[in-house]
Structure 1
Amino acid sequence: MSWTLTEEHLEDLARGAAVLGTGGGGDPYVGRLLARQAIREHGPVTVLDPGELAGDALVIPTAQMGAPTVVHEKLPSGEEPALALRTLERHLGRRAEATMPIECGGINSTIPLAVAARLGLPLVDADGMGRAFPELQMETFGVYGVSGSPMAIGGERGETTVIDTGTDNRRMEWLARGITIRLGGVAHIAEYPMSGADVQRTAVPRTLSLALTVGRAIREAREAGADPVAALATALGDTRYSHLRVLFRGKVSDVERRTEAGFARGRAEAVSFDGEHKLEILFQNENLVAMVDGEVRCLVPDLVCVLEAETAEPITTETLRYGQRVTVVGISTPSLMRTPEALATFGPAAFGLPHRFVPVEVAG
């Protein structure tokens, strides 16, 4: 059933999306500000359940692309993703009837919200990753047969580009990444234009509602003086992300981070509070693997989430720093993200990791 998203939802939504974004998806605070500005100027947004879409409706997802580290110095105006969507509409010769996120992550759960408010479009309660991934071909849309092309890119100075690589989503990512780098390391995109029927067949459903539920559960637990991590586990219990496992508690002891080839890549280490155990996380925009004392405890596509130890506020990869006290949790992904086809696209091997995927509920 459709519902109305207002400014009052934004803080909880951004927090929950940052949890599901596994450290990536862009800065949730910046995304919340962009969405707030758009809603204040243009009014609230209607959120549609995927089942409410007409089968032949045109849905165009929108997002930010690039290294999240860049956004701290290169803030978007909010116009760029709407520009990308309108550019793709002109190329297709047809108006979109809705937009939606490509991923559930910090800024990329709120960029489409801002687009929806600015352009008067409904927003579909679903996305194409069920978390955040660093590359455009890593979408459930593509896994199950939707082409990312044609896609449009919008820059901060009004630049636009249309890329069409047919069914080759990997080459689309390669070309778009190069353009994004030349636009300063961050750009805004409209891609994977699809029918309502394709959304219903290929998307991870109701992830915006889930992000809102997750963010609210953490906030309400803090306000009540309860354990926010336990509240998070309870909130996820009856969803497609049903299993939460605490992997580690300790203090960040080292962070190595570099911005290269349009990504934020690196590793983080933490030491347990008793000094007996060591955590290592590898990331490429998003957290990919968590190892405790050299043993894999959670691995992509399952979610590795770094939370502030006392508040369970999610910490993104670009804001990890020495001395932070953290709780690291692993969260199971929905079943459509664990099929052989999905693992071939965004499982460990897709990132060059030498590990076989083992679900977080049975790993380690």
Structure 2
Amino acid sequence: MKYLDVNDIKRIAVGATMLGAGGGGNPYVGSLMAIGAVRENGKVRLYDINDVADDWLTVPSSMMGAPAVQLEKFPNGIEFQNAFHVLEDKLGKKVQATFPIEAGGVNSMIPIMVAAKTGMPLIDVDSMGRALPELQMSTFTLYGHSASPMVVADEKGNTTLLETIDNNWTEKIARAISVKMGATAAVASFALTGRELKEAGVAGTISLCHKIGTIIEELNKYDATEDALKDLLKLTGGFYFMSAKITDIVNVTKDGFNFGTTKLEGINEFAGVKATVSFQNENIIFKVNGEVFITAPDIISMVDLDTLRPMTNEDLKYGKRVRILGLPCDKKWQTPEGIEMVGPRYFKYDVDYHPVEDLYDAYISSVNQAIY
């Protein structure tokens, strides 16, 4: 067990934004809420997954909806207390610990705020190892666990208890409710025992976020940005695809999601290369000169060219200089069931999933031909 202070929270927020693949909500808003809760209530206890008792009742705390809306309508904290109380009444048992449902800007911070306000421990685990746009897209679903009973709550005090036949229906119904609640809402779902969480979760996500954030926050200790980038790629097993400027962004909010495409034009050694990133909250497809080189469930992350600070899709602006990184997903996703659930064909792209590490050499060859 360790205790998370304000500096830890800032670093976790940065790392989670990188793993969030452009989605997961705004890290600045989330970190403000988490920092405020810790300053008011004290440090949060972070437990390693192996230190969690098998009979504990654990529940993730998260936001559902369009991330762009959270910049104007962010939670005040009471939603999660209400959601947990309704779920506890339904289950007849007290929730003993919480954790993030995903690695993403706001959704990595919400559980820290909840843990600080309630005094319960935070567990170093999540259910994705990244951020994904739909509720059923969880390693918990792969292991046969139900998202319901599930509670959806808003800042006005409204709560809805859902009991559904499967996680796809939970997503559909909860999404419709969150739209009516203002396109974003608080969620308490996937109530699991400690034993179930150990088997089905992605362990160590919060610690990984902290390590990523530490490299970026301590960039001034490196002789060059490229040296820090090498450490980031070594830590994550990732690949540096290109540096580019943003030439256009199409972004619409529909049915509780942010959909869009970011157009990129290579700079420096990548001059002459044109690329696009398409997203549904999170980045799903990366194409270079019309050819696909990264797809979900691998992570497509955009970071600032000079500072390496990762950006959500709401942060992107015309003319911004960025680097495109491809990070491998957790191995739990690299199964036929995982690819069916979160691979490119689910998002209606007519392309098969291939691990980013398998495509990188082909990418380098393609880029060299385009440049030379």
Coarse TM-score class (shorter-chain normalised): over 0.9
Moved more, 304-313 or 87-96: 87-96
Classify the secondary structure of the residue corresponding to 2:277. Answer: strand
Q: CA deviation at 1:231?
A: 2.6
The corresponding residue for 1:332 is 328
**Aligned residue runs from structure 1 range 2-13, under 5 A:** 2-13=1-12
Q: C-alpha separation between the residues in 1 aligned to 2:181 and 2:137?
A: 22
For 2:295, which of 287, 295, 299 is the aligned residue? 299
- Aligned partner of 2:281 in structure 1 is 285
Amino acid at match of 1:237: K
Residue deviations 1:293-312 (CA, integer Å, cap 9, x gap): 11112110000000111111
The Cα shift of 1:72 comes to 1.4
- Give the superposition deviation at 1:56: 1.4
Q: Distance in 1 between matches of 2:314 and 2:93?
A: 38
Question: Which runs of structure 2 are paired with 1:54-73 in the superposition (5 Å)?
Answer: 54-73=53-72
After TM superposition, give the deviation of residue 79 of structure 1 in Å: 2.2
Cα shift at 1:83: 2.1
Cα offset for 1:75? 2.2
**Deviation per residue, 1:328-360 (Å, 9 max, x gap):** 110111211211111111111221111111111
Output the CA distance in 2 between the equivalents of 1:229 and 1:319.
23
- Check the 8 A contact 2:222/2:228 in 1, yes or no: no
Is the 8 Å Cα contact of residues 128 and 330 (structure 2) preserved in structure 1?
Answer: no
Shift of 1:74: 1.2
The structure 2 residue matched to 1:180, chosen from 163, 178, 188, is 178
CA distance in 1, matches of 2:304, 2:110: 25
What is the letter of the counterpart of residue 234 of structure 2? G
- Tell me the equivalent position of 1:139: 138
Cα distance in 2 for residues equivalent to 1:343 and 1:75: 32
The one-letter amino acid of 2:317's match is: R
**Structure 1 stretches of 5 or more lacking a match?**
none
**Residue aligning to 2:343:** 347
Q: Whole-Å Cα distance in 1 between the matches of residues 162 and 226 of structure 2?
A: 42
Does 115-124 or 222-231 show the bigger shift?
222-231
Q: CA deviation at 1:261?
A: 0.4
- Greater helix fraction, Structure 1 or Structure 2: 2
Matches within 5 A, 1:171-320: 171-220=169-218, 222-228=219-225, 230-235=227-232, 237=234, 241-242=236-237, 244-273=238-267, 275-320=271-316
- Contact 1:291–1:297 (8 Å) recurs in 2: yes
Q: How many residues align?
A: 358
The corresponding residue for 2:32 is 33
Cα distance in 1, alignment partners of residues 30 and 41 from structure 2:
16
**CA apart distance, 1:82:** 2.6
The Cα RMSD (Å) is 1.3
| Structure 2: distance between partners of 1:200 and 1:80 | 27
Conserved in 1, the CA contact under 8 Å of 2:247 and 2:264? yes
- Give the secondary structure class of the aligned counterpart of 1:361: helix
Partner amino acid for 1:312?
Answer: L
Query: Contact between 1:153 and 1:189, CA under 8 Å: does it hold in 2?
Result: yes
Distance (whole Å) between structure 2 residues aligned to residue 232 and residue 169 of structure 1: 38
Q: Scaled by the length of structure 2, what TM-score is found?
A: 0.94
- 2:39 equivalent to 1:43: no
Cα pair 2:233 2:239 within 8 Å, conserved: no
TM-score, normalised on structure 1? 0.96
Contact 1:247–1:297, Cα closer than 8 Å, also in 2: no
